[in-house]
Chain A
Amino acid sequence: MSAAPRPETSTRANKDGAPPRGGPARYRRSLVLIVGLLLVGTIVLAAAVSIFWLPFDPSDTTGGRLEGPGLVHWLGTDRLGRDLFTQVMIGARIALVVGIGAVGVGAAIGIPVGLSAAFATGWVDDTMAAAMDILIAFPVLLLAMLIVAVEGASLVTVTVAIGLSMSAIVARLSRVVAKRVLAQQYITAARTSGTSWLGIVRQHVLPNIWPTVSVNLASQFGIAVLAEASLSYLGLGAPPPNSSWGRLLQEAQGTVATAPLGAVAPGIALVVLVIGVNLLVDGLRDVADPTQARAR
């Protein structure tokens, strides 16, 4: 990830023995970034490994029902005798794919819409702003449920539904930030030198809104992962062969008293990913904007 240079700079500052520039607050920030990277990294690693290797075949039911954790089944088995660790690893893959896909859909729709709204003036501008506010007033989950209910549950539908629901938030942010960039004198300067509007968007507006928008997209990723888990828990997520964390939670609900690990394991995985992403976003916020870094 683009965050890679940050831990390096902080370790260098520590090696010198001098307190890092900016004092304890800056130190805390890079610590937050490292912890976030570690948490997200764990989940990403699990998802990556699951592509090439799994402890058991996900449909292997020979493990015995609701076994406790042991040397063979590290986290035990579910009520169908499937290996729980395998399921959680596959769940990591689904969470990441849906999260990234949803953020991609949200950005692909939200940023262009927000940019066009930024150029609009008068009643067109007011109407677009009002439309975005109304869409944002709908909770992401509710809107996604509506779309899934109409389109039927599948991995793609869930991804698109969550992405569509978040695109309004991305659009509103892009609009505000782009309006601020468009008011800058370097935009006027670019226009005096004969740069077309398209060139200005490509060269000046997009790069200058990106630090703010990308941080927002990263935090939207956490929301998307939670939304996917919630939809799956409600039975509106990816259908059965896909062992999403939300569905694992739902399946373990009946046996939570006798085999709590079935619910605890996917629950912890979900918490690790979401908290990890939020910490990462917190840390990235400072790195992403060089103009802010200069102010420190």
Chain B
Amino acid sequence: MSLLEVSSLRVVSSDGVSRVRDVSFTVAPGERLGLIGESGSGKSLTAFAVIGLLPAGLKATGSVVLDGTQVVGAPEKSLVPIRGRICSFIFQEPLTALDPLMRLGRQLAEPIARHQGLRGSDLKRAVLDALDEVHLPEPERIANSRSWEISGGQRQRVAIAMALACRPRLLIADEPTTALDVTVQAEVLALLDHLVADREMAMIFVSHDLAVVSRMTDHALVMRSGEAVEKGSIADLLASPRHPYTAEFAAGARKAEAALAAALMQGPAE
């Protein structure tokens, strides 16, 4: 059985505009899928619809079955137990995705305590372990900091630790490295890759960057103005794109890669 089964998903705004049209895909346990598209293509909305958290004013129709539960039209009450435990989320901008007033240790402790029923010193140790797992140096110091007191890469690592705290079976990463600079980006991607493989989690990796997606997944769904235009293995998408839009994307990715390779050959520029 698939872990996630999305069929004929539509997301309609209150003024009747379809933001996502007739998108279908499945994700098996342990499988990875890339969602590729430019901004406004509906890839993030699709990701949010999976977990039943569309922004106010947007409504999903169709079917999203997550671990046997129908998400579309389900009441909040039946979705809360799924979130975090079956499926969790990593956001693009970790600074806004973390509460600025709460110490990171406490923020991380919340889902851990809820999921594993730990308290006191056991909970504290679990929090430090979780920070250690995402390769954060000085977990004690990070746990006592607030989100704006640490660097962007460290913040995203904390966010990853939070997303993994409830041992989800599906991780949705919504442009998790876009807000980071290139070297940090590579480290965070490597970390994600390793953690997801280690725990045999399924992953949906949302990005506008084909090069980044190709490092994380084998298969991708290309989206454009709310529609899924092409689906297939990344190698095929790059080598023989069937849809002109995919071809554009692939060309862009190759160009970026070539530029990056050239820059690396010349050594550090400027």
Contact = CB atoms under 8 A, between A and B. Distances in A.
Interface of A: 121, 184-186, 188-197, 199, 203-204, 207-208, 290-291, 294
Contacts of A290: 100-101, 146
B67 interface: no
Chain B interface bracket (under 10, 10 to 19, 20 to 34, 35 or more): 20 to 34
B91 A196 contact: no
A194 B99 contact: no
A199 B110 contact: yes
A252 to B, nearest CB: 48
A183 B83 CA distance: 19
B130 to A, nearest CB: 13
B97 interface: yes
A186 B80 contact: no
Nearest to A181: B99
Interface string B29-60: 00000000000000000000001010010000
A104 B151 CA distance: 40
For the complex of A and B, the 10 pairs showing the least CB-CB separation, nearest first, are A194-B84, A192-B89, A194-B83, A193-B84, A185-B96, A189-B97, A186-B99, A193-B111, A185-B97, A207-B101
B101 A208 contact: yes
B107 to A, nearest CB: 8
Nearest to A186: B99
25 contacts: A185-B91, A185-B93, A188-B97, A189-B89, A189-B162, A190-B99, A190-B110, A191-B83, A192-B51, A192-B83, A192-B89, A193-B111, A193-B163, A193-B165, A194-B84, A194-B166, A195-B84, A195-B110, A203-B110, A204-B102, A207-B101, A207-B102, A208-B99, A290-B100, A291-B101
For B81, B83, B148, B162, which residue has the most chain A Cβ atoms within 10 angstroms?
A: B83
Given A207-B101, A290-B146, A193 B96 contact: no
Contacts of B136: none
A193 B82 CA distance: 9
B81 A194 contact: yes
B203 to A, nearest CB: 15
A193 B166 contact: yes
Interface in B134-190: 146, 148, 159, 162-163, 165-166
Contacts of B192: none
B222 interface: no
B114 A194 contact: yes
B246 interface: no
Nearest to B57: A121
B98 interface: yes
Given A194-B111, A207-B101, A189 B159 contact: yes
A199 B85 CA distance: 16
Given A192-B51, A199-B110, A186 B85 contact: no
A12 B56 CA distance: 49
A286 B198 CA distance: 47
Contacts of A193: 83-84, 88-89, 110-111, 162-163, 165-166
Given A189-B89, A294-B148, 4 more contacts: A199-B110, A207-B102, A290-B100, A291-B101
